Structure 1
Amino acid sequence: MNDQPEPPMMRRPPGGQPNGGPGGQPYRPPLAWSEEPQQRRRYTPQPGQEPLQGRPGYAPRQQPQPIPPQDRHRRPGPAAPPPHRPHGEPGGPPPRRPHDPRRPAGATPPPKRRRRPRRVLRIILVIVLLLLITPVALMFYYDAKLHRVDALTNYAGRVGDTPGTTWLVVGTDSRADLSQEDKDKLATGDSDGARTDTIMLAHIPTSGKPMLISVPRDLYVPIPGQGSHKVNSAFNAGGPQLLVQTVEQFSGVHIDHYIEIGFGGFDKLVDAVGGVEMCLDKPLRDPKAGLRLPKGCQTLDGAQALGLVRTRAFPNADLERVVNQRKFFSALMSKATSPSVLLNPFKLIGFANGAVDAVTVAKGDHLWNLAWLAFRLRNPVTTTVPTDGDQVTDDGDSLVPGETTSKFFEYVSRGVEVPDDLLTASTGSVIGN
């Protein structure tokens, strides 16, 4: 007797035939509810039972839908990628740029040119800042290198402030910082110390043109603590302080600034600006000053210019020399403030180097004060202090101040224009008008 269960196909259906169903079809057992196809089941009422659809509040039975066995352990995957569309078609990526053979494949494309105007603007801004900052920085640098002396000191009975601005300009024969080679080249000699051969007042009045006034070194005036002597002896006896005090007391004009120019560096000042053009009415020769110049207009270098402002080879000696000194000084200031120098960094820096070597100023004076003076003295009124003529004194032949001298300085002390009848000029100067 076989105890093995018969296959499902051979099981007997309840109340049915063993090997088949209706119509002779093979019998299959009913599927489990989770394996039945997804379809609505039809409700068949039993005999004597009212249909459910007609009952009030009826709703079809809701049963949870089972998860198919093959999907029970499946995890959700990534979203499907969008359909591929070629470059340039609607809905697709933008068209590709043509390949540049100068750029290797895969290289980062160059940045857009929209930033170029901003970059150019930054470069221009940097250049403008450099042009503004550099001159200011150089001015402070050279100002710190200027030689200074305590020339404008207060003393009992000092003249108070007078209208306008007045500089005392002093030229000395100081040979400090000159090598023997420089002394031979400039024919300065070997004298020690410093004596003043040039005394001028640069006066900027409140009205009228600026004035460049020569004070003859032989002017016989009272010197505080020394008695009456030639004015240049004040510098020899007491230096800049005594000279300033002497000039203030006999002129009645308050000195606001002081500038002293020595031999050393003077030639560099002239050479730095490319020389100064001067016109001579006649040839000029002075072996003592190492000077040999022909007649006519010519450009003087530093050595020739120094010889010209030093020479006294004229019939009126010092009276002619001061005229030439004023004319040359004015021409030098005009050349130094010309565009050919100010716009040329090489000439401008060379002139500043020469000024630092040749110039000594009072404490409290600065390089920008000198620049302001140079601009104002490009075309000044030039004159010599009027006197009452020659007189023999204990110091030899001297120039004696008189009534015209007092009238002249009265106008200057008031800061107004001096009348033409008080302006003097020496005739026979070697430098033409």
Structure 2
Amino acid sequence: MRKARGCFIFFMIIIVIAAVIIFYFIGSNDRKIASDDSVKINYSEELASYKDNGIDYLFLGIDERENENKFEGRTDTMIIMHIGNNGKNALISIPRDTRVELEGHGINKINAAYVYGGVNMVVDEIYELTDIKIDKVMLANFSAFIKLVDALGGVTITVAEPLHDDKSGSDFDPGTHNFTGEQALAFSRCRATAKGDFDRMDRQKYLLAELFRQKANFSIIPQIPDILKILNEDTKSNFKTFDYIKVAFKMMINRDDFILLTLPGESATIDNVSYVIVDPDEAKIFLNENLG
């Protein structure tokens, strides 16, 4: 009886400490959002009035190695988390080499949109390709990803084929692995397989889905202070604290129900530059069939 009471008191202390830290984070996070225009979405008149069938969160992985600023650089990863009003939820990858015309910069890859026009150009390009209106956006660099995976205690991943690639740092044989943050990043960045970037995008979505499935539960309560510290220091977003809570809740109750999608496209080399050609009409039909 005394032991049970002691466990209960310890648990309540943890809850109180977590609550204090969370409320501190609420104040500091929402103040940061109010003062940071770089993550503010300024919708065009058309997009401002557009209503779609859910909430769409955009996660941008920034390759900060191109710039000393940890939130500047091309977007190495572009993934939309779609929470549908109809109960259909999905993780949708946008190929980073998608060929688009960027206003004022001509033909380019979509991963340059953030460099040339920030969050707003990315949001506009995604809408043109997909008819998806992005509601919230988060920028995270490689360091943030590594820290978050480590704070969550790593992640167990099944590697389907040999991944040995000096460029990404991958050195994994087929089988089940318990990945650290560094290993998870290497796994998610490897393109040295038959389908190149398409395989890489599939691994990224699989890794995120496994993180949701394995970690979206009450066992992460002791890690909440570290997670919030990382989010506050190593990411930029227009997520208000309620948005974090909403995403976490959705992940907890729907963690096994996310559809993993990649915009359909074909690889092509044009003027000695490698692109992925995505037909917007086909992309919209594809998404409507899977999410509508």
Shorter-chain TM-score range:
0.7 to 0.9
Match of 1:172 in 2: 62
Q: CA deviation at 1:394?
A: 4.9
Q: CA deviation at 1:250?
A: 2.5
Q: Of Structure 1 and Structure 2, which has the larger fraction of its residues in strand?
A: 2
The 2-side partners of 1:194 and 1:239 are apart by 10
| Counterparts of residues 4-403 of structure 1 (less than 5 Å) | 134-146=17-29, 148=33, 149-158=38-47, 160-175=50-65, 193-342=72-221, 345=222, 347-362=223-238, 364=240, 366-372=243-249, 374-375=251-252, 378-379=255-256, 380-387=258-265, 389-394=266-271, 396-402=273-279, 403=281
Q: CA deviation at 1:273?
A: 1.6
Residues 257 and 193 of structure 1: CA distance in aligned 2, closer, same or farther (over 3 Å): closer
The 1-side partners of 2:42 and 2:58 are apart by 14
Instruction: Say which structure, 1 or 2, has more relative contact order (CA 8 Å, 6+ apart).
Output: 2
The 2-side partners of 1:219 and 1:396 are apart by 11
Residues 170 and 138 of structure 1: CA distance in aligned 2, closer, same or farther (over 3 Å): same
Residues 272 and 410 of structure 1: CA distance in aligned 2, closer, same or farther (over 3 Å): same
Describe the superposition over 1:90-136 as per-residue Cα deviations: whole angstroms up to 9, x where unpaired: xxxxxxxxxxxxxxxxxxxxxxxxxxxxxxxxxxxx99986765443
Tell me which stretches of 4 or more aligned residues in structure 1 moved more than 6 Å: 126-132
Residues 287 and 191 of structure 1: CA distance in aligned 2, closer, same or farther (over 3 Å): farther
The 2-side partners of 1:371 and 1:393 are apart by 42
The 2-side partners of 1:259 and 1:141 are apart by 20
Match of 2:3 in 1: none
Q: Name the % identity.
A: 24
Aligned-partner SS, 1:264: helix
Q: How many pairs are equivalent?
A: 276
The 2-side partners of 1:162 and 1:361 are apart by 21
The 2-side partners of 1:155 and 1:170 are apart by 21
Q: CA deviation at 1:256?
A: 0.9
Residues 129 and 293 of structure 1: CA distance in aligned 2, closer, same or farther (over 3 Å): closer
Describe the superposition over 1:218-258 as per-residue Cα deviations: whole angstroms up to 9, x where unpaired: 22233334344321121121122211121123322211111
Q: Of Structure 1 and Structure 2, which has the larger fraction of its residues in helix?
A: 2
Larger mean CA deviation between 313-322 and 215-224 belongs to: 215-224
Contact 2:152 2:220 in 1 (8 A): yes
Aligned-partner SS, 1:202: strand
**Over alpha carbons, which structure has the higher Rg?**
1
The 1-side partners of 2:255 and 2:100 are apart by 30
The 2-side partners of 1:268 and 1:233 are apart by 26
Question: C-alpha root-mean-square deviation of aligned residues, in Å?
Answer: 3.3
Contact 2:97 2:110 in 1 (8 A): yes
The 1-side partners of 2:83 and 2:239 are apart by 20
What is the letter of the counterpart of residue 137 of structure 2? Y
Aligned-partner SS, 2:274: strand
Equivalent of residue 407 in structure 1, options 267, 285, 291 = 285
The 1-side partners of 2:192 and 2:228 are apart by 32
Larger mean CA deviation between 332-341 and 291-300 belongs to: 332-341
What is the letter of the counterpart of residue 265 of structure 1? A
Contact 2:53 2:86 in 1 (8 A): no
The 2-side partners of 1:384 and 1:323 are apart by 8
Q: CA deviation at 1:177?
A: 11
Residues 385 and 328 of structure 1: CA distance in aligned 2, closer, same or farther (over 3 Å): same
The 2-side partners of 1:303 and 1:163 are apart by 36
The 2-side partners of 1:197 and 1:161 are apart by 28
Q: CA deviation at 1:401?
A: 2.3
Q: CA deviation at 1:377?
A: 6.0
Structure 2: segments with no counterpart, 5+ residues? 1-8
What is the letter of the counterpart of residue 246 of structure 1? E
TM-score (norm 2): 0.81
Q: CA deviation at 1:158?
A: 2.2
Contact 1:194 1:236 in 2 (8 A): yes
The 1-side partners of 2:171 and 2:216 are apart by 28
Aligned-partner SS, 1:244: helix
The 1-side partners of 2:174 and 2:288 are apart by 40
